[in-house]
Amino acid sequence: MRLLNASGCLDALTAPEVAADLDAFVTKTVTPLPRGGNEPVRIAETEVGMLNAIGLANPGIDGFLHHTLPRLSGLTVWVSVGGFSVRDYADICERLEGEEIAAIELNLSCPNVDEVPSGVGEVVAAARAVTSKPLYAKLAPAADVAESAKAATAAGADGLSLVNTVKGMALDERTGGLSGPALRPLALAAIFAAHQATRLPIVGMGGVASGRDAVELLAAGASDIALGTILFSDPAAPSRIVAELEAELAAHGFADPDNAVGAAHEPEASTLDPESRVGHKKGLHTRANVVG
């Protein structure tokens, strides 16, 4: 298992000490041309996470290759790639082919840009045709995530990154991608479904704030874990979460994180957490609504 940051949630140039605590650094999504992003206000807090509408602000592939990437030497770098057409994705992947990067993550699911890229399979196939780098397809927790995961697999993806944010809103008219704790059950369901459908390696993310959260995503089928929103409130989260993860795995009898991958799919698997059951210790008043 590797611990990464979620794209857009860590700037390795301004916080190198946080990046150094990770097994790999994932860049902010890079697009063909520079983008200033949306007008402020671009972030809103909610009780269950945050909304962001950054709008893929980034220096563009030229600026990234000339100014950003050379300053990331010493880190294992994954480049997140975005675009507005199949061609955009393929062009950027082609530009990255000769560079010293560990993997490419195709951002196929940004809720903050209006232009929607083509089908997952089409973009992955076009990228696959021009790159030999490990290729991860990043998807949102949509109802058809298993279908998209299968399309990515058929098109030659080496892995999946699950999940991106989903569109939410805070009044007045602040729409943005919802991330953080609210996303965790959606991430679990998406990872579970994609693991069942494809068995591809999955970088699991979505509201991970503790070792316990990480173990749950592993059990659902993630093989690596990425930290996003938690890094905004707790930059020391990587080492804390690794320590918690080790304790949590030991408590469940797993010698190694890799042994926990997909554990929730075992036929005899019961819930990892009896306390997650409705009404148990949570003070939920279910009697009026639930029979039996």
Ligand X SMILES: Cc1cc2nc3c(=O)[nH]c(=O)nc-3n(C[C@H](O)[C@H](O)[C@H](O)COP(=O)(O)O)c2cc1C
Give the whole-angstrom CA distance, residue 290 versus residue 18. 46
Give the whole-angstrom CA distance, residue 159 versus residue 136. 5
Residue of 120, 229, 245, 261 that binds ligand X (CB under 6 A): 229
Contact letters for ligand X, residues 55-84 (x by CB under 6 A): -x-----------------------x----
Q: Does the annotation mark 110 as catalytic?
A: yes
Catalytic residue among 12, 110, 113, 217: 110
By CB atoms closer than 10 A (0-12, 13-18, 19+), residue 277 is exposed
Q: Could you tell me the smallest distance in angstroms from the CB atom of residue 57 to ligand X?
A: 8
31 near ligand X, judged by CB under 6 A: no
**Of residues 253-282, which lie at the interface with ligand X (CB under 6 A)?**
none
228 near ligand X, judged by CB under 6 A: yes
Q: Could you tell me the smallest distance in angstroms from the CB atom of residue 230 to ligand X?
A: 6
Q: Could you tell me the smallest distance in angstroms from the CB atom of residue 44 to ligand X?
A: 11
Give the whole-angstrom CA distance, residue 6 versus residue 258. 20
List beta partners, residue 104: 79, 135
Please identify, using beta-carbon distances, which residue of 16 and 111 lies nearer to ligand X.
111
Please identify, using beta-carbon distances, which residue of 206 and 257 lies nearer to ligand X.
206
Residue carrying structure tokens 């940004």: 110
207 near ligand X, judged by CB under 6 A: yes
Cβ(151)–Cβ(194) under 8 Å? no
Give the whole-angstrom CA distance, residue 208 versus residue 188. 11
Q: Could you tell me the smallest distance in angstroms from the CB atom of residue 286 to ligand X?
A: 28
Q: Are strands 202-204 and 224-227 parallel, antiparallel or unpaired?
A: parallel
Residue with the closest Cβ to ligand X? Answer: 8
6 near ligand X, judged by CB under 6 A: yes
Q: Could you tell me the smallest distance in angstroms from the CB atom of residue 189 to ligand X?
A: 14
98-123 in b/e burial notation, b at 16+ Cβ within 10 A?
A: eeebbbbbbbbbbbbbeeebeebbeb
Cα distances (angstroms) measured from residue 68 to each of 23, 27, 28, 60:
19, 10, 11, 10
Residues annotated as catalytic (active site), given as ranges: 110
Applying CB under 6 A, the residues found at the interface with ligand X are: 6-9, 28-29, 50, 52, 54, 56, 80, 107, 110, 138, 164-165, 179-180, 183, 205-208, 227-229
